[in-house]
Structure 1
């Protein structure tokens, strides 16, 4: 089967623009990517983060689902330890009623924030991650309208509205743990390749496939990853636009976060020799360049990892740069075009 290509968007705050614009840009980008033919459009969850301002994926999904008609829409992901599994089930049953058969529920175990913020979200922040497997089980049953295990204290509680379709659950992760949970429950799994620069990705995918227990909806494992990529009409343009991301990562490694700067502003910073060397390394390793070059690197990686799905996340200070990048990659990667 052809490789399914999707989008992850993180609602990045851009220097010089109000943060609310990042949310509106996400909705507009989803509509653009639907027209281009991408399979899924996922949004992330982060908290207390001055760069990644998408804090409520369930709300963004509703807005996107209501203004699109074909593309699948979902979370990448809902950080389940912050919430009641039952409440998440209700939210995604409502989302499925808005866009029947088009909703994905990607789940993560990481806090998506710092420790203090995790406690602000849930007073039992330290204990909740240990309940992740049982919460996944309960959530899966509530979404499908199936009874919880015998003796469960909430066995008679149901998540409404029920319907003929059920959101597709994914487990997301950047370590072995999520891979094992996905394999145990027979769920699709996506590794955050962009988050670790691929470190641990092959091992996690191997563990997932080796331990996979077939489920009625997914008799075979469904493996995916998410990569960071940026395409432009020329190599020079692509590298120019990438400067914003490169400087942001350099400062992130020092614990400094802020809105994404324009590439001209980022390039004007007086980098030292060590910083220049680090940026040069980033440029060598990043999926950045013309559409054909970046697409070929994506295809090569997908073949090497034997993937069924791949999502792309792109940061750029100007929205038209991101729109153009997804257009160029769609030409190369989406067979219907």
Structure 2
């Protein structure tokens, strides 16, 4: 059985202020809980004109306060920007607010440009080199375990304590993250949507082959984060995909901005070169009617032998996103309902 989860990036769209995108993420979390999704993750980006979610731990607190069952997580905290102890404290507080429901996904990528990364952490040029050590520290502090003898943090605890602890996840889009997740015995989520699938099979195989069981996770637990959009008809789905499609083409030439509506994009016909890019994107996109997308997701799950898929959906109209998650829930979620 495939478990279906959600990753939302709080995407800015034309005609709406960026702060409204944060509130829409909160509303979507409540909607997806009602549909029976496994978990709801939020991302971290900085100084980004399209993806405006900059503080996942704050947004997670709001989601925790307005949901009851769904797991809530970061996808992820860009750990080189921060102190591992402070991140552990933040997530221990979240765990106190929503016991047994918190996922702490961490990544090494900056989630920003080099100048912004430098402003977030003046030692940004070397911070990524210490990522494995940070992961070990975070794993100890989040789990309430003692650090090794001689470590300067030995004897220091991340409060508040409690009977449960956040579940750590390693996020990545290469073999590096897969190897690190395997070494520390952590669940691993591959960012399939970033690489358009390139390297996914190899990274998942590396993760499984190198996996060292941990007390919390005796077996490897891989997941794929994928971009998908379903609608009531295939034609409608491709129409709503046009915003994401144009965004990716514009990004390739260094132009970033809010997601545009299908009506706006109808006034921007593709050049021959852009049309070739669009055709290539459509050949591999997980887009279509509900049954079509469900079939594509099952085929991907079977090919990589992964039991959990985390779905990202961008659309200019929030109702389109909600409908997409509704349609997929009817195929995968244990208790799908048509939310109001």
TM-score w.r.t. length of structure 2? 0.98
Indicate conservation of the 8 Å contact 2:63/2:72, yes or no. yes
Q: Which runs of structure 2 are paired with 1:1-337 in the superposition (5 Å)?
A: 2-337=1-336
- CA separation in 1, counterparts of 2:250 and 2:46? 19
Residue segments in structure 2 that go unaligned for 5+ positions in a row: none
Residue segments in structure 1 that go unaligned for 5+ positions in a row: none
Report the secondary structure of 2:316's partner residue.
coil
Indicate conservation of the 8 Å contact 2:102/2:166, yes or no. yes
Indicate conservation of the 8 Å contact 1:174/1:200, yes or no. yes
Per-residue CA shift, 1:111-165, capped at 9, x if unaligned? 1111111100001001111111111111111011111111111101110000000
After TM superposition, what 4+ stretches of structure 1 lie above 2 angstroms from structure 2? none
- CA separation in 1, counterparts of 2:47 and 2:64? 26
Report the secondary structure of 1:239's partner residue.
helix
Indicate conservation of the 8 Å contact 1:243/1:267, yes or no. no
Report the secondary structure of 1:170's partner residue.
strand
Report the secondary structure of 1:7's partner residue.
strand
Indicate conservation of the 8 Å contact 1:176/1:207, yes or no. yes
Aligned-pair Cα RMSD in Å: 0.7
Greater shift, 143-152 or 272-281, is seen at 272-281
- CA separation in 2, counterparts of 1:134 and 1:296? 41
- CA separation in 1, counterparts of 2:50 and 2:92? 30
Aligned length: 336
TM-score w.r.t. length of structure 1? 0.99
